[in-house]
Structure 1
């Protein structure tokens, strides 16, 4: 399944540097607004140590991780919702992604100008959120008359949609992002069709100086409090430093991180948190030919998970043979898991759990 995260922020906050580190690509980085005009994208593997363990256990010939697409979207400016800068184009790019990664500047550098002349990540976040919220309000306001005509007939659909729409509109007018506004679950399909920018899940990254990774400044601590108040989590990252790590050979990165007293890079945490924020779980398939991680939404049934591999498997689904990764890891082999009676046979109603190692039986 295709999953995308849009990297969003004001100009000159380090979005492209972060993107380059994530994707090990070479997007232009320059000290002026709108250096990035067309969005760049790159596919990033989701860190998962279970794959290496399974690959060694099965002596597999190929290992395929789950992936997430990251999209580097050009900098927003105040007034983007009214078309300032290249606002309308950029807002359209944000609308096409599944998750928004807010990159906020927490570093000082006299050679890199700030679009507002002052490094203030809390203020920057408010500017971005306001522009997204105003864009949503503008979008909904343009639909009111058309929808009201549809709802004049007292259908069951109208009884669900109208109060949901009014609740969303009222919440946005009060300054709440869409994801903080509750509506009847029966209206979820209608709500999704509205394409609200502020309905998308969000992650927050503070791009800080290397010294602040262990000793954050007061302004970064203030940002952390502001984001906690939104129910979010702040991930401090030194994008410049992460870009340097990304250039190291794979075998040297872990050693370098250990020397700095870190168990993983900020980028690994960002990719992992992005994956979780999308509401995904991972099931695994394992054998001599291939070990692979498969992302599916939480609540996915076994046949729907099978469809991720091939539609024929869903169509001819018989049962799923399921082992827990933890059992495989602890016992050391599939044979040992079977001997302990820990392999389960699950039917069409089974809900896939994170860490399930699955073999699907089917007949077409």
Structure 2
């Protein structure tokens, strides 16, 4: 699971990345400050872990996590190599989804590459470069597929049809993700690494006067995201970087003074997790309580395989209950006595928040 942070130079990408991953000093304030991407691992905050720990005492509590890649600022002409654009675009091809940071604050001390703050203009600059890069990829792949298709090769004929389908929205200035593709078509698109096929979450970098993102600069981004069926998370990069440097009690005090329950980056991490199409199930015992990240729609054996491949192969059944069951009945023993412990088989589709013990054919494995 990997998301890439993209945006124009000086929109606050690295500030947000550093706060999100507690990566250290902020990047310098000039274009192309980052050539090789920084990579960090981010915990996905989940209050249910604390609830479970309140009833099941254990040595460790381990949240789900995702990898975040801070990709250098993209400028006009990136698709043709401007500002080392080809190198940066190759980094985006490798991630699973995109966090697009958009500057929604005015600060004369921080230069804007175009000389003015224009969120929609910034989005369109990035979208254009990504679409142009994809058009080049699709064009080259289509030429090859059509040459091979002339021999009657069925796979190449089918490939060419999918590529033509991808070419049409790109020529109209639309992302490939706007297409309704079947499973086989999506698999082909993934193999091409098309950037505009990836899901996008907009991150509106706001100032401290608009932490909830109600101002006009954020609203235009919300309107844009709504048309795409997307989401916007407002984040004050400056504030979040200050919060990231504080300890638990000091951080809580600062949040309370500003009328906030948690850092905005907690919301961002959860939204990025959802963007990737993942949710969590839990295992809980004396050694650890842990959130396991799995794609939505996975079966119980697949979820068991997330722990260890042998568990999927030798899966027998899953003992399942909910966080709500634990809150009501207090112990696993009481949950079982109340008839709330369910036994699920190989066809069971895992639900977000399931607490599970897997039973397998390997001695000592759970």
TM-score norm. by structure 1 comes to 0.95
Among candidates 341, 344, 358, match of residue 343 of structure 1: 341
Give the match for residue 141 of structure 1: 139
Aligned-partner SS, 2:355 = strand
Give the match for residue 362 of structure 1: 360
Q: Would the aligned equivalents of 1:16 and 1:72 in 2 still touch at CA under 8 Å? A: yes
Distance 2:188 2:218 in 1: 38
Distance 2:163 2:227 in 1: 25
Aligned-partner SS, 1:85 = helix
Among candidates 313, 316, 319, match of residue 315 of structure 1: 313
Question: Residue by residue, what CA displacement relative to the aligned partner does 1:91-114 show, whole Å, maximum 9, x if unpaired?
Answer: 011111111101111111111111
Aligned-partner SS, 1:78 = coil
Q: Would the aligned equivalents of 1:160 and 1:187 in 2 still touch at CA under 8 Å? A: no
Give the match for residue 228 of structure 1: 226
Give the match for residue 238 of structure 1: 236
Aligned-partner SS, 1:228 = helix
Structure 1 segments unaligned to the other structure (5+ residues): none
Give the match for residue 304 of structure 2: 306
Give the match for residue 207 of structure 2: 209
- Where does 1:107-118 land on structure 2 (aligned, <5 Å)? 107-118=105-116
Distance 1:296 1:363 in 2: 22
Quote the RMSD (CA, aligned, Å).
Answer: 1.6
More moved, 180-189 vs 128-137: 180-189
Could you tell me how far 1:191 is from its partner in structure 2?
Answer: 2.0
Aligned positions, number: 362
Give the match for residue 22 of structure 2: 24
Q: Would the aligned equivalents of 2:138 and 2:166 in 1 still touch at CA under 8 Å? A: no
Aligned-partner SS, 1:143 = helix
Distance 1:49 1:306 in 2: 23
Among candidates 260, 267, 289, match of residue 269 of structure 1: 267
Structure 2 segments unaligned to the other structure (5+ residues): none
Among candidates 106, 130, 133, match of residue 132 of structure 1: 130
More moved, 167-176 vs 255-264: 255-264
Question: Residue by residue, what CA displacement relative to the aligned partner does 1:250-306 show, whole Å, maximum 9, x if unpaired?
Answer: 233233223322222210110000000100110100001110000000111111111
Q: 1:239/1:271 Cα in 2 relative to 1: closer, same or farther (>3 Å)?
A: same
- Where does 1:38-117 land on structure 2 (aligned, <5 Å)? 38-117=36-115
Aligned-partner SS, 1:77 = coil
Aligned-partner SS, 1:5 = strand
Distance 1:214 1:149 in 2: 53
Distance 1:129 1:309 in 2: 38
Q: Would the aligned equivalents of 1:28 and 1:36 in 2 still touch at CA under 8 Å? A: no
Q: Would the aligned equivalents of 1:11 and 1:34 in 2 still touch at CA under 8 Å? A: yes
Q: Would the aligned equivalents of 1:51 and 1:65 in 2 still touch at CA under 8 Å? A: yes
TM-score norm. by structure 2 comes to 0.95
Question: Residue by residue, what CA displacement relative to the aligned partner does 1:185-221 show, whole Å, maximum 9, x if unpaired?
Answer: 3322222212110111111011111001247432322
- Where does 1:162-177 land on structure 2 (aligned, <5 Å)? 162-177=160-175
